[in-house]
Amino acid sequence: MMKPTITKEQAAELEAMRTSFPGGDNYILMAACDDVLGGKLAKLDLLTLAAALVNGYEVEATPEERVREYYYDLRRAEDRLEERGESGSQFRQGWQSVEETLNLLGIKIEGVNV
């Protein structure tokens, strides 16, 4: 059973439609088949939408969430090495570079450089 990945906006729209319409998933699928489904869901192909309705879905991480996860991975790797008495300096340079790059670009990400 494969769960498709959809955006946060699509997930919010899908859940709103599921609770707003009496026919729920059937209504959503019929609207997609009739090509009258609007908004962000209209950008999903029919099979992806059907799979999301039947199997559930994963929500796509935002670019900020991906950067935050990468940053935390570098910090955790540094911590693990240092706990074993080894140098984690290459990972420290990595997460510091992430912070510096974001600051140079004027991008603020909670938990990374804010």
For the chain, what are the domain ranges?
Answer: 5-59, 63-105
pLDDT per residue as tens digits for the range 18-72? 988 888 899 999 999 998 888 899 999 999 999 999 999 999 999 999 999 999 9
Per residue, the 3-state secondary structure of 15-46, as one string, reads: HHHHHHCCCHHHHHHHHHHCCCCCHHHHHCCH
**Dist CA 16 CA 22 (whole Å):** 12
104 pLDDT more than 90: yes
Quote the pLDDT of residue 23.
82
Q: Are 28 and 79 in contact (CB under 8 A)?
A: no
Tokens representing 100 are 């510096």
pLDDT per residue as tens digits for the range 4-23? 999 999 999 999 999 888 88
78 pLDDT more than 90: yes
